[in-house]
Amino acid sequence: LRLDKIHPLINGNKWFKLKHNIEFARRNNLKQLVSFGGAYSNHIYALAAAGKVFGFDTVGFIRGEIVLPLNPVLAFARSQGMKLVAVSRSEYRNKHQQDFIKAIHEQYSNCYILPEGGANDLALQGCAKIVQWLKWHSTAKNRYLAVACGTGSTLAGLIKGISSSAIAPIPELIGIAVLKGQGYLPGEVSRWLQGVTLENPVDWTVMEQYHCGGYAKSSSELHAFLTQFAGFTPIPVEPVYTGKLFYGLFDMIKTGRIPPDSEVIAVHSGGIV
Ligand SMILES: *Cc1c(COP(=O)(O)O)cnc(C)c1O
């Protein structure tokens, strides 16, 4: 499912995460969108573009130093009018604490603060709507719907969306964790789903063995796979999220975790800068 193609600038899952947040800000007359991210954050990129398109001022608190010349993500964000503010790594760790949030509200009047990665309940509701775009082509009994996981909020949204859809047979959802940490992401997804009523039970799994060393890290296996992948499809992937998604899926097919005669939809969550 090519979410990388929905808009030239606000693409992938980040649009679905932002959509309801932007509506909320607009309804409440909030004029500035403020958020957090690393220097290569796709969320910061999409937020900057969305701010420009929908008429909000945007502020990005960037972890660590802002190195000049700006990298392509930050250069783009600034070109869209985003104000970039460097935050030391130690300060950044406290970004979601009350004092820090209070200081932001004092400095930026009428602002709406989005968490890192844009991950909140409105984002989850937006991601639930991705399900409307699925087209299953076969009558295969085994269906899988797969997505790369950072915060896990997109996967949680997909679980919610599938559970209240009329899709049958119900696919198993597979999240491919792009960061290291055993048990961390399943815990996060469960946390996102607390308080969400699932109309139909949905099987979901997070595969935690395809992170290739951790967030934005790579391995020679991943590198070799991506070279091979580029040889048989023009679909662009990047090594941080969607590259690991396909790496994991191909391995699951090879090892039989995904059996023959299954239908798999991989959600291409964007991230091509
Ligand atoms: C942010 C991002 C993700 C991760 O989404 P989460 O909701 O944080 O799990 C996956 N793919 C791409 C391309 C992203 O930019």
- Residue in 41, 42, 210 to alter for ligand 1 test, most ligand atoms within 8 A of Cβ: 42
Q: pLDDT tens digit string along 111-131?
A: 999 999 999 999 999 999 999
CB of 35 within 8 A of CB of 113?
Answer: yes
Is the model's pLDDT at 273 over the cut of 80?
Answer: no
CB of 15 within 8 A of CB of 267?
Answer: no
Tell me the C-alpha to C-alpha distance, in Å, between residue 215 and each of 72, 85, 223, 269, 273. 19, 23, 15, 16, 17
For residue 195, the one-letter residue type is G
Q: What is the CA radius of gyration of the chain?
A: 19
Is the model's pLDDT at 195 over the cut of 90?
Answer: no
pTM, to two decimals? 0.96
For residue 156, the one-letter residue type is A
- Angle subtended by helix axes 13-27 and 121-128, to nearest 10: 120
Task: For residues 209 and 202, give the distance between their C-alpha atoms in angstroms, rounded to a whole number.
Answer: 22
Q: Ligand 1 atom closest to Cα of 149?
A: 9
Place of tokens 């607009």: 26
Residue range 179-201: average pLDDT? 94
- Provide the edge-to-edge strand list for the sheet that holds 172-177: 204-207, 172-177, 143-149, 263-266
- Residue in 76, 160, 269, 273 to alter for ligand 1 test, most ligand atoms within 8 A of Cβ: 269
Q: How far is the CA of 106 from the centre of ligand 1 (A)?
A: 30
For residue 77, the one-letter residue type is A
Tell me the C-alpha to C-alpha distance, in Å, between residue 230 and each of 51, 245, 246. 33, 14, 11
Task: For residues 20 and 29, give the distance between their C-alpha atoms in angstroms, rounded to a whole number.
Answer: 14
Residues with CB under 6 A from ligand 1: 12-14, 42-43, 117, 119, 148-154, 241-242, 269-271
